[in-house]
Amino acid sequence: MSQAKPDGVTPSQTVGPYFAYGLTPGGKYDWNDAFTNNLVTADTSGERIRVEGTVFDGDGVPIVDCMLEIWQADAQGRFSDPQDKRALPNSSFKGFGRIGTDAKGGYAFDTIKPGTVADPDGKPQAPHIVIAVYARGMLLHLYSRIYFDGEAANAADPVLALVPADRRATLIATRQPGNGNAVYRFDIHLQGDKETVFFDV
Amino acid sequence: MTLVYPVQSLAAHPPRLSPAYKSTVKRSPTKPLIPMRHTLSELSGPVYGHETVREHDHDLTIHGKSEPIGERIIVHGHVLDEDGRGVPNALVELWQANSCGRYVHVVDQHPAPLDPNFTGAGRAQTDAQGYYRFVTIKPGAYPWGNHHNAWRPAHIHFSVFGYSFVSRLVTQMYFPGDPLFPFDPIFNSVTDEKARNRMISAFDLDNTQPDWALCYRFNIVLRGRNATPMENK
């Protein structure tokens, strides 16, 4: 069924300062979470990792009312979406996570390291997670990508190749020292010398 | 059906730097965004199970011990793609202030009463035609600190998922005829009047329920159009 052809998309507006009780209640409000920051299910295969960091504004001040969403493939590079025409993942891994930053502007996602996804030419992309950034003061969310430190495939990644060499590091999560599951740090700077690369998608 | 997501569709959105809305000044990138082709990572998106939306999540008036205070309203409409086709099974999340203009959020210190019977969060999934429906309370206007005597027009926040991660939309639904429109820098951050009007719901007398609730229609148009447009006239 179709409606009259729209004259354009509905414009975006800011998520505002008060989204938490609706979108990221996290047990603090009388509402349940549709999504959390833990993407790992018992039957998920792949390397368990944590991606964590802090979101900063143009003054270098942590943003405490920011929401982050991530979307990624499973360890075999498949998306849990019927639009991915290959075999669907044989686990309950959904590949989508959401979190609001804490009182220090920090966040963390527990997930798995994604596999390789091809670009439109069939060329392999380096493992990456797509991230969307929302906050009060942001009228339209921003898209970026999280790549991984020490990944040989980064050198040939077709998207990283679009990024000026001196800004590429803003897209690469750095492996933190320690035992146990790998922890990667990915800070997000909305402005400034370390401004994160955002994509016009 | 294969959808494409032209970058031109984004022209309807507000510029990220809209200085009249002061918080954008330090929260918008200063370097140009980098264009890239969409890959499967951008063209796919999450699918949710039936556990995500529970039976009564669309009715914000029945979660307390008794009914919330305020004007009961129905808000309904279709989630559409840019060709006007309904988007089925789309997750629609909603949050809003209560009838006094106060949010449950701990940071909201507006000296207006909280309503113990109203949280202000709801969730729905569109049906096979892209249709959704909420029952709620008309939110109040409220002051904010952007400038002297700044008040937000009454609005309901919407978060919508379409077919892909790049059709993701967070927006606000406004009510027709609000006297605060000319003074609100968030509403007016959308510079094109026709685009701005797409954020305003329409009063819907046909679906107003006699002796029960006024109805407003709010169609939400997500990015995405047919990859092979056909002449249909």
Q: DSSP code of A70?
A: E
Please give the pLDDT value at position B233.
Answer: 40
Please give the pLDDT value at position B47.
Answer: 85
Q: CA dihedral in degrees (B198, B202, B206, B208; nearest 10)?
A: 130
Residue A45 near residue B14, CB atoms below 8 Å: no
d(CA A120, CA B56): 42
Q: DSSP code of A60?
A: S
Tokens representing residue A174 in the block:
């750095």
Q: Give Dmax (Cα) for chain A.
A: 58
Please give the interface size between A and B, counted as residue pairs whose CB atoms are below 8 Å apart.
Answer: 272
In A63-92, the residues whose Cβ lies within 8 Å of chain B are: 63, 65, 69, 71-73, 79-84
Mean pLDDT in order along chain B per 10 residues (233 residues): 90 98 98 96 87 92 96 98 96 98 92 96 97 98 98 98 96 98 98 98 98 98 85 46
Please measure the distance between the N-terminal and C-terminal CA atoms of chain A and give it in whole angstroms.
28
Please give the pLDDT value at position A84.
Answer: 83
Tokens representing residue A28 in the block:
């603090």
Considering only CA atoms, which of A150, A32, A130, A51 is closest in space to residue B56?
A32
- What is the value of pTM for the model shown? 0.96
d(CA A170, CA A187): 8
Q: Which residues of A39-75 are buried (b: 16+ CB within 10 A; e: fewer)?
A: bbeeebebeebbbbbbbbbbeeebbbbbbbbbbbbbb
Q: What is the residue extent of each domain of chain A?
A: 31-189
Please give the pLDDT value at position A87.
Answer: 73
d(CA B64, CA B98): 13
Please give the pLDDT value at position A2.
Answer: 61
Q: CA dihedral in degrees (B122, B125, B131, B135; nearest 10)?
A: -20
Contact state of B29 with A198 under an 8 Å Cβ cutoff: yes
Q: Which of A5, A13, A142 to mutate to test the interface with B (most CBs of B within 10 A)?
A: A13
Residue in A with minimal Cα distance to B187: A13
B40, part of any domain: no
Q: DSSP code of B76?
A: E
Contact state of A17 with B107 under an 8 Å Cβ cutoff: yes
The residues, any chain, with a CB within 8 Å of residue B56's CB and separated by 6 or more, are B62, B63
Give the catalytic positions of B in this structure.
103, 142, 152, 155, 157
Q: Which residues of A150-181 are buried (b: 16+ CB within 10 A; e: fewer)?
A: ebeebeebbbbeebeeeebebbbbeeeeeeee
Cα A44 to chain center, whole Å?
18
Tokens representing residue B68 in the block:
């919330």
Please give the pLDDT value at position B163.
Answer: 94
In A134-193, the residues whose Cβ lies within 8 Å of chain B are: 134-143, 145, 159, 162-163, 167, 190-191
Residue in A with minimal Cα distance to B104: A21
Please give the pLDDT value at position B51.
Answer: 74
B131-137 and B121-125 strand pairing: unpaired
Q: How far is CA A162 from CA A60, A151, A191, A196, B37, in A?
A: 26, 18, 20, 14, 10
Q: Is ipTM strictly over 0.90?
A: yes
d(CA A161, CA B58): 45
Domain assignment of residue B128, given as a range: 3-7+53-223
A66-71 and A96-100 strand pairing: antiparallel
Find the CATH number of the domain harbouring B196: 2.60.130.10
Which residues of chain A are modeled with pLDDT < 50? none
Count of H helices and E strands in chain B?
A: 2, 14
The shortest CB-CB distance from A23 to any of B52, B93, B104 is to B93
- Architecture of domain A31-189 in CATH? Sandwich (2.60)
As to burial, measured by CB atoms within 10 angstroms (0-12 exposed, 13-18 middle, 19+ buried), residue A26 is: middle
Side chain identity at residue B126, one-letter code = T
**What is the tens place of the pLDDT at every residue in A99-109?**
999 999 999 99
Side chain identity at residue A4, one-letter code = A
B232, part of any domain: no
Please give the pLDDT value at position B229.
Answer: 62
Q: Chain B closest CA to A60's CA: distance in Å?
A: 9
Residue A99 near residue A37, CB atoms below 8 Å: yes
